[in-house]
Amino acid sequence: MRELSPKQRLSKRELEVARLVTQGLTNKEIASSLFISQRTAEGHVAQICNKLGFSTRAQIAAWVATFDPTAAAPVIAPKADQTMVSAAAPRRKGFVPSGAAARLMGVAIVVVGLLGGGFIALKLLPQTAQPTAVTIADELSRPNGIAIDFSGAILVMDNDQVHRISNGKATLVAGTSTNGYSGDGESATSAMLSLFVFPGMQADGVAADRAGNIYIADYGNHRIRKVTTDGRITTVAGTGIPGGLGDGGLATNAQLWYPRGLAIDQQGNLYVADSGTNRVRMIDLQGKIRAFAGTGVSGDAGDGESALTALLSGPTGLAIEQGTGTVYIADTGNHRVRKVTDGKISPVGGTGVALSLPVAIATDDRGDVFITDKATSRVLRVDAGGTMTTVTTPGITLSSPLGVAVDSSGYVYIADTDNDRIVRLPR
């Protein structure tokens, strides 16, 4: 009897599913595309692996590319609902085509180890492909705050932890995944944080200074925590009692109330969106805290005047344009973004599309401002002229994005919160 080729072993439907796996779709997205249930999609993926002797989606992607290079996808990173085989099945080494094979396939191959239990993401990018959005990290738990440190690594808040993604590997920065407060003076990885964002909540904040220290808005604990380069965690602001007292004194003796976004200027001053007090506050290099914007009263007033006399409403995201020192504020409760330059506050984005629920901000070295709008699941760009436009996300559908960051190469990273992933947009 003639032996069937691997392609012939799969049904027509299984071939369709294999191609969608290669495009980076999750089981849920495959189900939606083919009008089948998610359980049926999971079964098809498992059958493909069983028939071909595979154990990862990356192997499926590489195999599809051998006979259909146009189906090659940027990233395959399985989620928790995408188990390939049963727990008892042995793990196999991922298939990686040789350099010669890759040239014949017309794809560039990069293998990247990501979060969780060391799962593999296989990047298959056709050399003639159009720019597309790609999934950088998957299998997260409602990722929200995101930042790029000075080494180019990605910092992401996920569940009650902070992870650092660098050179394709993820390491734990802080948190045990158990909600709580503990660990000051000890290893950050054994400390408890209160970071998890439930549906309907806004994003928390994370930032890094030039020395490599990482700052975490420990929202539920009403504190700012600092992880030093030796991995130790301390509290640098907040007593744990919600409130707004303490300006002019040490930040460690001051009250915070649901701190959200964080940003650091070129001098090393730390800015905190203290959403519960409707203010932005600044912590200087001596550890003293003071008001930077807002009076503490919720409202919408003060444009063109001193930021200290302006009214804000539940500010969340912050960003600083390093060249000018301009501080951008997601004035979430007022459905807009404002900026503070030389102490004066003014609106951002005078023309173009309107904002609904801006929650995170980032800037690039060209002067563009990027905003995630949670309510409309969009990313928006404001150019130097003040025109606001929607950023396209080819190949990706966002759902309640809560974080945004831009690296030194101009790539924009989004915390796609409801989809439990980090995506990178094309430049």
Q: Which domain holds residue 22?
A: 12-66
pLDDT band at 39 (very low <50, low <70, confident <90, very high): confident
Q: Is the dihedral of CA 97, 99, 100, 103 positive or negative?
A: positive
CA-CA distance, 250 to 89, in Å (whole number)?
A: 57
Closest CA to 216 of 174, 275, 180, 253: 174
pLDDT by residue (tens digit) across 86-96?
Answer: 323 333 333 33
Q: From its phi and psi, is residue 234 left (phi > 0), alpha (psi between -120 and 50) or beta?
A: beta
Share of the chain above pLDDT 70, in %: 81
Alpha helices in 129-190 (DSSP H): none
Residue 99 clears pLDDT 50, i.e. is over it = no
Q: Look at residue 174 in the predicted model and tell me its pLDDT.
A: 97
382 and 271 share a domain? yes
Residue 9 clears pLDDT 90, i.e. is over it = no
Least confident range from 68-82, 84-98, 410-424: namely 84-98
For all residues of the chain together, what is the average pLDDT? 82
pLDDT by residue (tens digit) across 343-371?
Answer: 999 999 866 678 999 999 999 988 899 99
Region 135-144: mean pLDDT is 86
Q: Look at residue 111 in the predicted model and tell me its pLDDT.
A: 29
First to last CA, the chain: 52
302 and 214 share a domain? yes
342 and 222 share a domain? yes
Is residue 81 in some structural domain?
A: no
Number of domains in the chain: 2
Extended strands (E) in 159-209: 161-166, 169-174, 206-208
160 and 55 share a domain? no
Tokens of residue 265, six digits: 């200027």
Is residue 313 in some structural domain?
A: yes
Tokens of residue 223, six digits: 């504190």
CB atoms within 10 A of CB 427: 10
Is residue 86 in some structural domain?
A: no
* Domain CATH code at residue 181: 2.120.10.30
